[in-house]
Chains A and B, each alone.
Chain A
Amino acid sequence: MTTATDVIRPGGGPSATGHAEEKDYLNVDNSIMSWLFTLDHKRIGLMYLASVLFFFFFGGILALLIRTELFTPGADFLTYFVSGKNAAELKLAAADLYNQLFTLHGAIMIFLFLIPSIPATFGNFFLPLMLGAKDVAFPRLNLFSFYIYVLGAFFFLYTLASGGLDTGWTFYTPYSTSTNTAVIASTFGAFILGFSSILTGVNFVVTVHKMRAPRMTWTRIPLFLWALYSTSLIQILATPVLAITLLLLIFERALGIGIFDPAMGGDPVLYQHFFWFYSHPAVYIMILPAFGVISETISVHSRKHIFGYGFIAASSVSIALIGFLVWGHHMFVSGQSPLASLLFSMITFAVAVPTAIKVFSWVATLYKGSIVFNAPMLNALSFIFLFTIGGLTGLFLATLATDVHLHDTYFVVAHFHYVMVGGTLVAFLAAIHHWWAKMFGRHYNEWCGRISAIFVFIGFNLTFFSQFVMGSQGMPRRYFTYDQVSPELLSIYTRMHQISTVGSMILGLALTFTLFYLAHSLFFGKKVHNDSDLRWTGESMEWKTATPPSPHNFHEQPIAYNSPYDFKEIDHSLGGGH
C-alpha cells in the first residue's frame, strides 16, 4: 500500500482471486424482471445501448432509402412504394414520402440515437465506475429516465403509424403548424425525450460532485467524465428551453395562440431563436462525450499520459459555455439583423479555439507513444481525421459571405455528417470496442474490428466527401430530384450522388458487419477469466474492478492516489501535461 501501483491493481489485488466464484452484474439474476426493474447503472446502460442501437439501425435504413432514391436524377425508386393514377400523381406521392423519410431519419438519429448515444450508454455504465462509486447518485431516477426515453420513443413510432412527419427535424413554423402530418405526437415525443436527457444530466452532475472516490480531486477525474460533466451542464441548461419551445409549438398548433404566427402578430423567427438556443448546444451534447471517449482511447492505446490534461478538461467546459452563444449562425439568412449575424459569426469562430486545443493535444499524446493499431485506436484515429474535416468546413459556414452561398446545400449536410457521424458515431464505435471486454467479459474478434474500422472510414468518406463537392456546386439539400438543371451540373450532381450512394451502401454493410461480429462475440467470443486475459487495461478505475464488474462495482472502496493516465510502462520524462 506504499506505492501507487500495488494499491490500484485490478479487482483489488490478491483478493480478486478469492472472489472468482462470485456472480457479476450480468449473471447475478437472469429473470426479465430483474432487468426491467434494475437500479444498477450498468444494466440501465446496457438497456440504453440496445435501444439506441435499434433506433440507429432504423434511422440508418431510412438513410439508405434516401440514398437509393438519389442514385438517379429523376423520381424512380420511391415511386414503387406509393400509389397514384398517373405519373404526375406518383411523383407527388413519392416526393411526400421522401420528405417524410429525411424528416424521420433526422429526428430519429438526433433525438433517439445521437443525444443519448454515448452519455446514456457508456456514460451510465462507466461514470460511477470511473469515479470509484457504487452507483449514480439517484439510481431510481436513472431507471425513470430510461423509461421516459422508451415512452418518448413510442411517440415517435406512433408518429410513424399516424401519418408520419414532413417538417424536417427542426419543426420550423409556420409550416409545422399547417402541415397535416403528426406534428403534435412527434414534438411531444421530443419533449418527453428531453426530460430523459435532463434527468440523466442532473444525475451525472450530482454524481461527479458528490460520489468521487477518496482523494479523487478534480484534476484526477478521467477526461471522459469531464466531457460528460460538460455535456450534462448543457443538457440541464439548454434542454428545458427546447421543452418550452415544443410546448409552445403544440399550443400553437392545437389552440393557435399565435406567438409564432405572423397572421396573429407573432414572430416565426422567434421560434428559430428558441429552437436553436437548444439545438445548437445540443450539437455539443452529441460531440462532447465523443471527445471524452477519444481522450481515453488515444491515451490508453498509445500507453502515454494524455497531453495537456488541464487544457482538454477546460476546453470541454468552455465549448459547453461558448456553445450557448452561437445559435444565431443557423439563422444568417433568416432575416436577423446584420449586427447580430456579425456577432454570432465571430463567437462561432471562437469555438474553433478550444476544439483545436483538443485535437492538438490528442496528436501530441500520440507523439512518441507506444501506439497499437487495434479497433478502438483505428476508430479514434479515424475520428481525429474526420472530425478535423468536419470542424474546418464549419468555418466556411461560420463566415457570413460564404454561408450565403452554402446555406441549405449539401455542403451543410456533409459538414454536420462529418461531425455527427465521422465524429460521434466513430467515437461510439471506438468506445464500444475499447470497453467491450470489460462490459461483457468476452472478446470480440480483433481482425473483424480492424476491417470494420477501415471500411467504415472508406464508406463514410465516399458518402459524404462527394456531398461537399456537389454542395459547393449548389446542389440544395432536401431535394427529391435534381433533373431540372443544366447538363454540366447534371453530370456533376449525378456522379457525386452515385459515389455518395455507393459509399452509403459500403458504410451500411460495414456497420451491419460490426453488429454481427459484436453480437457473435457475446455468445462465442473468447472469455475473460481474469484481468490478465484483457488485451489492454487503463489506469482509470473502471479497469480496477472485476471483469465483468460485480453488481456493486467494487469489493473495496478504491482510492485515487494518482492521475488516471499514469501508465507504468511509460517514460515519465515524456509525459505531457505535468
Chain B
Amino acid sequence: MHRTERFTDLPAPWEVLTGGGGPPLLFLHGEEGQHGWLPHHSALAEKFHVAAPTMPGLAGSGRPTWVDTVPSLAKTYLALLDRMGWKQCILAGASLGGWIAAEMASMEPARFKALVLIGAQGFPTGAYDVPNIFLTPYRRYISFGYADPNGAAFRDMWGEAPTEDAAEHDLEVMEMAALVGFKPYMHDRSLSGSLARFSNPALLLWGEEDRLTPRPAALAFKEALPDAHLALVPGAGHYVHLEQPKSCAVAINEFVSEWVR
C-alpha cells in the first residue's frame, strides 16, 4: 500500500510516494527515473516509513530556475523535508540520487541517522571506457547498469519500446542529469572533504558488477566518510535497487539493525 502526497505550497510543487511504517527513510531516485512504487520501495516499506520524492524537473515535481547543480538540488530536498516535518531520518539514494543524498548529508549531518548510497555518482570515474550517459542512448546506458541486461528485471521495466509518456520521462530525466552533471562529469570534488562532517554510519551498497560507477568510486566514498561500510551485492550491476530489490532491502535492514541507533 502506498499513496502519493503532493506539496504545492513550496516554491515548486513536489510529488512524493509514501508507504509502510517504522523509522522514516527518504529514498532518492537518480537518472533511472521515477517509475511509481516499485518492488524495492515495497521491500523497504516492510521495516520503514518510506518517502520517495520525484526529482524536480520530472513530471509531478517542478524545478525552481535557480536549481541547476547537485548542491542546489540538495537544498530543495532539505526544504521538502522541512515541509514534511521530518526532523530526522535515514537517507538513501541511488546513482545520481546517491550523489544528491551525499550532498545533503554533508550539509545537515545531524539530520540523518544513517546514509545509504547505492552505486552513487559523485566521485570521478575517470576512465574513458566507463559508459557516459551523455554519449549513449538513454535506455542503452540504463542497460549497462544491470549485471544481466537480458534478465527479467531489465526486461520487465525497460524491455518494451517506450510509450510517448515514457519517452517524455526519459527526456526529462536526461535533461536533469545533463543540467547538474554534464561537466565535470557526474561528480563534485568538494565531496572528498565535505563528507568528513558526516560521522553517522554510512552504507555503501554496490553491485558486484557495477559498470557505471565501478569499485574505485565506492572506495572514494569509503575514504571520504568517517564511518562507512561497504557491502557488495552479487547478481547486481549499478542499479542494485532495480535488479535485486529484495537483497537491497535486506542489506539496508541488516545495516540499520547493526549500526544505527
Partners in one complex: no
Listed in ascending order, the chain B residues whose CB lies under 8 Å from chain A are none
Listed in ascending order, the chain A residues whose CB lies under 8 Å from chain B are none
